[in-house]
Amino acid sequence: MARIAIGGFQHETNTFAPVKAGFADFEMADGWPGLTTGDALFEVFRGINLPLPGFIEQAKAAGHELLPLLWCSASPSANVMRDAYERIAGDLVSGIKALSRLDAIYLDLHGAMVAEHLEDGEGELLERIRKIVGPDMPIVVSLDLHANLTERMVRHASALVVCRTYPHVDLAETGARSAEVIDRLLKQGPLAKAMRRADFLVPLPWQCTLIDPAMALYGEVAASETRNAAASASFAFGFPPADIHECGPAIVAYGETQAAADRVADNLIGALKSAERDFAGKIWSKDEAVAHAMLKGLSGRPVILADTQDNPGAGGNSDSVDLLEALIRLKAEGAVFANLYDPETARIAHEAGLHNSFERAIGAWCGSPGLEKLSGRFEVLALGDGSFKATGPFYRGNHMQLGPMALLGIGGTKIVVTSRKQQAADQAMLRHLGVEPAQQKVLALKSSVHFRADFQPIASEILIVAAAGDNPVDNSTLPYRHLRKGLRLMPLGRAFAG
Ligand SMILES: [Zn+2]
């Protein structure tokens, strides 16, 4: 039995987004639990689809003693503020320092954290921890599929274990796999590592593992690990809207020998490179998408419009009303737009009361350049306190706290308004306001891919729409300055020239 310290610190940073993440954002519960410390880590996370509880369950079953530090996450946004990073990283480091006897460390990190003062949030944290515990202690880290893997992370972690699905329905399983790797390290000693990088970025909608080529590639990650008896094989697609040197897809593999690790890494990078031409799909303009959806959408089989460029799960503010404007202008009957993050509008709706209406310019309040508000008279169709249990496979089991919510109506379109920012990736968000998703003709969802876990089964068609927002599908429109030279901004696209 080993004594293993456990903790987590998660942020996915869109360096182009307008709003940074401060300490309060990590403290607050939203779609995931708020900042949690000590023994509460065992209670709060039980049954939730996150790596930490998956690790806890597996490691406890293996008989290990777990020493809880802290876990926190903040909604994706611009850089983590220096003070927040130093406070949380500092607490993790001092927590580890204070432990008298320690055999291993497990951390539940994201892998795409950029702070105000450093590019590689996870690499820096791992280096600080490695300095305290020395070169031999097993440190295993689970990471999100959107991790921008860095050489520093690979150097200081004994093993990095990346999730394999997008929508991320295997987060808990990724934690369990991390526990197996830590067990192996404790019993058999260190593993050889191999890292490889791709030289092109893949936009989020085409990273989805429910469709090819990503589906086939992730099948190969698991198959290659088994075929080569590797200890662990991982492929991270990276998070494109991060203006950092080591942005982009990468492979990391671990084996008994360097040759074994190299073989797996070479195989996977080869498969990725030969799939470059297959990362392509139609991007719809908002008017074209709304017109198509009105024609094809049926109650019982809605057409889903993915408002990907304002996906709050990728640093958008969820306050763009650009696609909503098209729904209203084109008189989309039976359409629901979710989730508009607009606390002031939610407050006014609650004040106005059920079945009353009010006039207001809604949305576009976070300050993103190029976004416009939408003026109109809105009827209050339903009100909620934003406290409910998620039912879909992605947010599975988590108790959502989205603050005061309202369902507004204008013409034939309904709008789900929240007071906290959360990706529209769970049907319970709509049902909380009395909307049965399957009965709508058109669902416009602020999400790139995660919505598919819960909504794809009820959809007749899914269209990826480019309406105004902070997370462009076309990476070549982003004003990058810090990428490495030669990295192609899109599959088969133009290379970054420096
Ligand atoms: Zn992710």
Using the mean position of ligand 1's atoms as its centre, give its distance from the Cα of residue 118 in Å.
21
C-alpha 234 – ligand 1 centre gap (Å): 14
Angular region, 397: left φ>0, alpha ψ -120 to 50, beta rest: left
Calculate how far, in angstroms, residue 491's C-alpha sits from the geometric centre of ligand 1: 19
Give the Å distance between the CA of 187 and the centre of ligand 1: 31
The per-residue pLDDT of the chain, averaged, comes to 96
Query: Ligand 1 centroid vs 214 CA: distance in angstroms?
Result: 14
Task: Find the 93 Cα to ligand 1 centroid distance in Å.
Answer: 25
Q: pLDDT value at position 406?
A: 98
Q: How many Å lie between the centroid of ligand 1 and the Cα of residue 145?
A: 5
Q: What is the pLDDT of residues 23-45, one digit of tens each?
A: 999 999 877 899 999 999 999 99
- Distance (angstroms) between ligand 1 centre and the Cα of 432 equals 25
pLDDT tens digit string along 282-341? 999 999 999 999 999 999 999 999 999 999 988 889 999 999 999 999 999 999 999 999
Distance 85 CA to ligand 1 centre (A): 20
208 alpha carbon – ligand 1 mean position (Å) = 10
pTM summary value? 0.91
385 Cα to the center of ligand 1, angstroms: 27
Cα(343) to ligand 1 centroid in Å equals 25
Q: 168 alpha carbon to ligand 1 midpoint, in Å?
A: 7
Q: Ligand 1 centre and the CA of 449: distance in Å? A: 9
Q: Per-residue pLDDT tens for 56-89? A: 999 999 999 999 999 999 999 999 999 999 999 9
CA of 413 to the centre of ligand 1 (A): 30
Say if residue 216's pLDDT is above 80.
yes
